[in-house]
Amino acid sequence: MGSDEQNLARHAAARAAMEMLPEGDTIGLGSGRAVWAVIEALRDRWPSGPPLRAVCASSATDTKAREAGIEVLELDGELALSVAVDGADEVGPSLGLLKGGGGALLREKLVISAAERFVCVAETAKLVPRLGATRGLPVEVARFAWRDTRRRLLESGLVGDAVLRVQRDGEPYRTDEGHHILDCAIPERADDLAPGAALGAPEANLRAWGATLAAVPGVMEHGLFIDMADVVLLGTPEGELETLQA
């Protein structure tokens, strides 16, 4: 998909997501270009400032939301979010998602978990036959002793590889929480490594495998978002929309 087609697809999904956000609600906004396209759509609809309040999952989204006139709040243990809107790097057959390409996976999962509904905004090109088909799984790890965490992941056999994410200058990437990210290969037979997993249910197997992965000391969070999306809005290269329901 070319850049023009990608923009058409992304903005088709963003416009559809915008229509699902009731005026006056408090919402969650994830991170990445799809979410920023939603913010642009909101600003275009309400140039004087969208009648919405939002919790933002990244500093970049926070900045863009404030520039659009959205009131930005923090999760304080009492705030209720009606809906969270976020993108995805991959969308699986049962609406499981792989996220974290932009590095905000921990905060994104916290925001989504605080919302009544989760609307995923993506493009049809993100559809895959199985999660991990086109990219590695981001795993957010504590900076302290991250090499030991990487060693434990590899020695456990849970992942086939675990590559430290670096910036363009070669320095290790740091999330907004100050953590590092290891990009890991998802095994094709996660059921072999996940206690209690069932054959024939690949995303259920990944959920069990992800729970085992999350229990490794030093792992803060991973980019598997299984059974979390209520609706996936997929823009097409022609600027049309496909809607998938959980």
**Which residues, listed in sequence order, are joined to residue 119 by a DSSP beta bridge?**
85, 231
Q: Which residues contact 124 (CB under 8 A, 6 or more apart)?
A: 9, 234, 235, 236, 237, 242
Paired residues of 244 in beta bridges: 232
Distance separating alpha carbons of residues 165 and 70, to the nearest angstrom: 32
Distance of alpha carbon 169 from alpha carbon 102, whole angstroms = 17
- Backbone phi and psi for residue 210, each to the nearest 5 degrees, phi listed first: -65, -35
- Using CA atoms, how far apart are residues 87 and 49, in angstroms rounded to an integer? 23
Tokens of 173: 């990437």
Query: In a 3-state reduction of DSSP, which class is residue 101?
Result: coil
Nearest to 173 by CA among 114, 239, 104, 118: 104
Task: Determine the Cα–Cα distance for residues 91 and 136; give it in Å rounded to an integer.
Answer: 14
Which H or E element spans position 194? none
| Residues annotated as part of the active site | 108
DSSP 38: H
